Chains A and B, each alone.
Chain A
Amino acid sequence: MTNQEVIDDLIQHYPEAISDVDEPYGLLTFTTTGGQIIPLLRYLYDHPAFQFQFLTDLCGIHYPHHPGKELGVIYHVHSLVHNVRVRIKVFFPIGDPHVPTATVLYESANWMERETYDFYGVCFDGHPNLVRILNVDEMDYFPLRKEYPLEDATRRDKNDIMFGR
């Protein structure tokens, strides 16, 4: 089974849902929409030949300079039977960061989606327990978004008598 077979099959079944097909370093990558992501993942999961049943990774991304598509979620699914990986991206505006949850298919998506919510503020609709996971519950911002730069290591206004910087 090759990347070409997978993408041909997908384009045949979901012609309007797939864009930006690419193959960086041999890994099939394409972009889809928030409405189509779960049907697409389910199709790949249930496909008798492909069997993309292993969710390797799920993470968020922020592109502040892409208006209307600032935030994104990136899924890596793996067909353990054929050893083929597929990377699927979904982008949506930062003002309305909603995407349906993948926990209906993969139990492992639970914490990965919580992590993505924690760092990027992506709301996974239908998630059983969408609360912060690694950061403190009281945090009121999403730290991995690009508008939060790391502190300048040379600033002088925080000197501490006991511990220095």
Chain B
Amino acid sequence: MSDVIAPFKEPVVTSPQAYVNELTTLNLGPTHPATHGVFQNILQMDGERIVSAVTTIGYIHRAYEKLVEHRPFYQITPLTDRMNYCSSPINNMGWWMTVEKLLGVTVPKRAQYMRVIMMELARISDHLICNSILGVDSGAFSGFLYLFQERENIYEIYEEVCGARLTTNMGRIGGMERDFSETAVRKIRKFLKDFPPVLREFENLFNRNRIFMDRVVDVGPITAERALNYGFTGPNLRAAGVDYDVRVMNPYSSYEDFEFDIPVGTNGDTYDRFIVRNEEMWQSLRIIQQAMDKLPDGPYHADAPEYYLPPKPEVYRNMEALIYHFKIVMGEIDAPAGEVYHAVEGGNGELGFYLISDGGRAPYRLHFRRPCFIYYQAYAEMCVGTQLSDAIVILSSLNVIAGELDA
């Protein structure tokens, strides 16, 4: 022992008692791989236990509410894509419906059903990411790899319908930009057939898995009263036992035509959020199946020439079409004055668009009610008293999407 060179002349820890009441400050984020996005949590830790948490957000704030005040209405959809990028079609459709409500445009039934199909596919892809990442964060990697093939299949459907995969910019004022192609219909049908066995296997892997349940049951619970007071919506609120779903309460885009259940939890803990999301995927599948079976014939966009781009051959031959084409592309269409609040059930909850138009070409004011932004403030309260690994699991079960959080 005597020839070992001691790095310190004196022992670093003189007595274990000296450090009993000392707290460690831990910066969880903004670039920590387990936070899935850029948000920072400054945690005061007593060993592994979290004593207090301070959340800092705004790392990818892009001033969308300022940008939209200078853009014509149809140029705002690409911005909505980038809010909740796990389910961008829902954001796109929510925005189109807000504009259509302001303009008084009636969307034909076929376009409404097509929108429902795309929105439910988006919900499935959103919940897939949330639940499989929850598995990764609690140490089970295989579910994630297994489900991502299905997410890829959903993205291929998007690609077939609108040409893009992640930031879809799907739909137009008054309907969709094109009809479903035969390939798109085939891919949706194939997805409806292939997805249930995969989801069932995923549930077999997780739902009654002892290790997984030990990690998530009773972790980060929130009562229904607290959740409502914190402005929770969507799966996180339903996990706490409140059956509030915008699709049922204020149906839009013909949701009243479909039969589906709203799954609710009891404890509002991480396990309930996981189970509610899984069950919502089954319900989304039901809705897509019904919409595909009942998909009516007819036009896929409204007859609103002032807002809907005419077909290109018409632009070359027809004077009116050329004028409308020019006015739409140059953003010279004035919208009527008015104020509209329209909400859709986004992947994370009530995604609201509050639009004030003063009769100009761009919104006078557009406020996005982002569900993530509102419920993420409960995170500090939910993770205090838990351990660090639980905090990670709570964060991923809340499905906080940084793009939506910061807008």
Contacts and interface: CB of A to CB of B under 8 A. Distances in A.
Interface of A: 24-25, 27, 29, 53-57, 59, 61, 74, 76, 80, 83, 85, 87, 106-108, 110-112, 115, 119, 132-136, 143-144, 148-150
A29 B354 CA distance: 13
A134 B407 CA distance: 9
Interface size on B, as a range, is: 35 or more
Nearest to B369: A57
Given A59-B367, A107-B230, A134-B58, A119 B65 contact: yes
Contacts of A110: 377
Given A24-B339, A83-B250, A56 B229 contact: no
User: Of A54, A57, A133, A144, which is in contact with the most chain B CB atoms at under 10 Å from its CB?
Assistant: A57
B341 A107 contact: no
Contact of A25 (B66, B101, B374, B407): B101
Greatest chain A CB density within 10 A among B226, B228, B350 is at B228
B393 to A, nearest CB: 23
Interface of B: 57-58, 61, 63, 65-67, 69-70, 101-102, 226, 228-231, 242, 244, 249-250, 338-341, 343, 350, 352, 354, 356, 365, 367, 369, 373-378, 406-407
B341 A87 contact: yes
A58 B140 CA distance: 40
Contacts of B61: 134-135
Contacts of B369: 56-57, 76
Nearest to A74: B354
Nearest to B242: A80
Nearest to B61: A134
A107 B376 CA distance: 12
Contact of A57 (B58, B230, B367): B367
B352 A57 contact: yes
Nearest to A110: B377
A143 B63 contact: yes
26 contacts: A24-B339, A24-B340, A25-B101, A25-B339, A53-B229, A56-B343, A57-B367, A59-B354, A59-B367, A61-B365, A80-B244, A80-B249, A85-B341, A87-B341, A107-B230, A107-B231, A108-B229, A108-B230, A115-B373, A119-B65, A133-B58, A134-B406, A135-B61, A144-B65, A144-B66, A150-B70
